[in-house]
Amino acid sequence: MTRILHGVDITRGASFRGVVDFNQRYRLQHVDRNFKSTITTIVPLTDMEKLFQLRIDDDAERATFGFLPGQFVMLEVPGYGEVPISISSSPSNKAYIELCIRRAGTVTNLLHRARPGAKVGLRGPFGTHFPTGQMKGHDVLLIAGGLGLAPLRAPIFDITENRAAYGRVHILYGTKDPSQLLFDYQYETWRRVGGVELSIAVEHADADWKGEVGLITHLLDRLTLDADDTFAIVCGPPVMFKHVCSRLSARGVPMDRMFVSLERRMHCGMGKCYRCNVGHTSTCIDGPVFDYWSVMNLKESI
Q: Which of the residues 23 through 52 are near other proteins (CB under 8 A)?
A: 23, 25, 28-29, 31-34, 36
- By CB under 8 A, tell whether 111 contacts other proteins: yes
Distance of alpha carbon 164 from alpha carbon 43, whole angstroms: 30
What is the CB neighbour count within 10 angstroms for residue 150?
25
What is the CB neighbour count within 10 angstroms for residue 256?
11
Interacting residues with other proteins between 118 and 177 (CB under 8 A):
118-121
| Region from 129-137, 157-165, 245-253, 277-285 binding other proteins, contact rule CB under 8 A | 277-285
Distance of alpha carbon 237 from alpha carbon 170, whole angstroms: 20
- By CB under 8 A, tell whether 55 contacts other proteins: no
| Region from 89-97, 227-235, 246-254, 275-283 binding other proteins, contact rule CB under 8 A | 275-283
Q: Which residues contact 178 (CB under 8 A, 6 or more apart)?
A: 202, 205, 206, 208, 209
| 42 membership: H or E segment, kind and range | strand 35-44
Q: Please tell me the number of Cα atoms within 13 Å of 179 on its side-chain side.
A: 5
| Region from 65-73, 114-122, 202-210, 226-234 binding other proteins, contact rule CB under 8 A | 114-122
User: Smallest distance, Å, CB 247 to other proteins?
Assistant: 25
If the CB atoms of residues 15 and 224 are measured against other proteins, the closer one turns out to be 15
Contact 62, 94 (CB under 8 A): yes
Strand, coil or helix: 61: helix
If the CB atoms of residues 219 and 284 are measured against other proteins, the closer one turns out to be 284
Among positions 55, 64, 66, 105, the unique one binding other proteins when judged by CB under 8 A: 105
Among positions 136, 168, 218, 267, the unique one binding other proteins when judged by CB under 8 A: 267
If the CB atoms of residues 85 and 219 are measured against other proteins, the closer one turns out to be 85
- By CB under 8 A, tell whether 268 contacts other proteins: yes
Output the CA torsion sign for 250, 253, 256, 259.
Answer: negative
